[in-house]
């Protein structure tokens, strides 16, 4: 049975539609990420699950039961917010146990669960301090401890790491996965950080402008993007997208022709006549001084050294193409071959922007 199910759910504020006919089924115990640009409706979805926001049309089921009109307090939910929302006048221990006290749990149960949460989150020794006496990372762990003591079915996290610096975020990501593995609750995690999405998620729901763009594993979202939006949103620098044309058996780009292997010929010809966009990730763009079986000549316009790798920029018919390679091999102004790797290509319908799919040989 699914644990959370949105069925044709829309949400409007006044006349503005924020969520557009959402159908989304989240499995019990799953770690699902809601990812998308600012304002796409991630927090609104989380708030509808928690009952802090109403549903305009459609149905929401929690553990198989219609929950549209169930009060927030009657949904078995723990939430962690971006600003942690700790009570400043309560000690850490009091903050962590607060939800249990409100629910009138027995004193020894509260004591035991609070101790366990404080241990798990490495807060031992800080029990008597107040939130203002903690670092950002410690406060974030208190917010997590306060949520896990509730042992709720649903664990909702709204950008819980966004106030931490990059190093702490890396540690906290592992911490979150560890906690999920310990308790196995259904975990819904809102972020606009693609690294967090890729590393924490078992599945990612990628949204844009209130529409679900793709729901799949991090691997498939990265390697088999459903459309150009998904392809460009995930990955940094983002996927190169070039406007190309097929002429007979040849792919035409930058006035040059490359005969593609048979597997792509079939796939592309099924979709002919609608304009074609070709995608390739920067790490799969290989430049060389030697011509390969599928090559076009390009001129390097710009070189950027990132320390552990180097970005080479070129243009094809006015569209930018970036290559990320391990070594600083080529100079600005140099002509090189772009040796195209057919198994690393993506093709999209130029009108709908949807992926045309992949040859059977690559699936």
Catalog residues that contact ligand ATP under the rule CB under 6 A: 13, 18, 36, 38-44, 192
DSSP 76: -
DSSP 239: P
Q: Closest distance between ligand ATP and the C-beta of residue 18, in Å?
A: 4
Residue with Cβ nearer ligand ATP (58 or 275)? 58
Residue with Cβ nearer ligand ATP (189 or 287)? 189
Helix, strand, or coil (residue 254): coil
For 45, counting Cβ atoms within 10 Å of its Cβ (0-12 exposed, 13-18 middle, 19+ buried), the class is buried
Residue with Cβ nearer ligand ATP (206 or 298)? 206
Q: Closest distance between ligand ATP and the C-beta of residue 159, in Å?
A: 7
Q: Closest distance between ligand ATP and the C-beta of residue 106, in Å?
A: 37
CA atoms of 331 and 317, how far apart (whole Å): 21
Q: Closest distance between ligand ATP and the C-beta of residue 83, in Å?
A: 12
Segments of 192-255 assigned E as strands: 203-208, 211-216, 240-247, 250-253
Residue with token string 């790797």: 341
Q: Closest distance between ligand ATP and the C-beta of residue 88, in Å?
A: 24
Segments of 41-161 assigned E as strands: 57-62, 65-66, 77-80, 154-158
Q: Closest distance between ligand ATP and the C-beta of residue 42, in Å?
A: 4
Cα dist. 6→16, 51, 79 in Å? Answer: 20, 13, 19
Residue with Cβ nearer ligand ATP (39 or 128)? 39
Which residues neighbour 274 within 8 Å (Cβ) at sequence distance 6 or greater? 349, 350, 351, 352
Residue with Cβ nearer ligand ATP (84 or 312)? 84
Residue with Cβ nearer ligand ATP (185 or 191)? 191
CA atoms of 183 and 180, how far apart (whole Å): 5
Residue with Cβ nearer ligand ATP (38 or 363)? 38
Residue with Cβ nearer ligand ATP (60 or 278)? 60
Cα dist. 116→29, 141, 145, 171 in Å? Answer: 21, 13, 9, 20
239 half-sphere exposure, CB direction, 13 A CA radius: 25
Tokens of 31: 């770690």
Q: Closest distance between ligand ATP and the C-beta of residue 187, in Å?
A: 17
Q: Closest distance between ligand ATP and the C-beta of residue 46, in Å?
A: 8
């Amino acid at each position: 049975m699914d644990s959370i199910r949105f069925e044709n759910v829309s949400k409007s504020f006044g006349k503005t539609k924020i969520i557009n006919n959402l159908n989304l089924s989240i499995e019990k115990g799953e770690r699902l990420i809601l990812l998308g640009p600012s304002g796409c409706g991630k927090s609104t979805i989380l708030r509808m699950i928690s009952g802090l926001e109403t549903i305009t049309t459609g149905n929401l089921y929690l553990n198989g039961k219609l929950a549209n009109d169930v009060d927030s307090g009657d949904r078995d939910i723990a939430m962690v917010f971006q600003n942690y929302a700790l009570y400043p006048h309560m000690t850490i221990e009091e903050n962590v146990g607060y939800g249990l006290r409100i629910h009138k749990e027995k004193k020894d149960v509260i004591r035991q669960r609070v101790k366990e949460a404080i241990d798990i989150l490495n807060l031992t020794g800080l029990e008597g301090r107040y939130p203002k006496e903690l670092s950002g990372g410690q406060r974030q762990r208190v917010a997590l401890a306060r949520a896990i003591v509730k042992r709720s079915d649903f664990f909702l996290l709204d950008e819980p790491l966004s106030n931490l610096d990059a190093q702490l975020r890396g540690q906290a990501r592992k911490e979150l996965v560890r906690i999920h593995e310990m308790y196995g609750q259904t975990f819904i995690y809102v972020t606009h950080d693609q690294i967090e999405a890729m590393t924490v998620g078992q599945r990612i729901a990628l949204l844009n402008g209130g529409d679900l763009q793709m729901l799949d594993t991090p691997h498939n979202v990265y390697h088999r993007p459903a459309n150009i939006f998904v392809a460009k949103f995930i990955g940094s620098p983002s996927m190169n997208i070039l406007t190309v044309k097929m002429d007979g058996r040849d792919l035409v780009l930058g006035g040059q022709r490359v005969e593609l292997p048979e597997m792509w010929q079939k796939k592309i010809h099924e979709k002919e006549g609608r304009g074609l966009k070709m995608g390739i990730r920067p790490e799969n763009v290989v430049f060389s001084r030697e011509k390969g079986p599928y090559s076009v000549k390009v001129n390097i316009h710009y070189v950027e050294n990132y320390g552990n790798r180097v970005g080479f920029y070129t243009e094809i018919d006015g569209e930018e193409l970036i290559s990320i390679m391990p070594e600083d091999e080529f100079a600005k102004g140099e002509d090189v071959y772009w040796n195209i790797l057919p198994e690393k290509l993506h093709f999209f319908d130029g009108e709908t922007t949807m992926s045309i799919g992949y040859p059977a040989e690559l699936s």
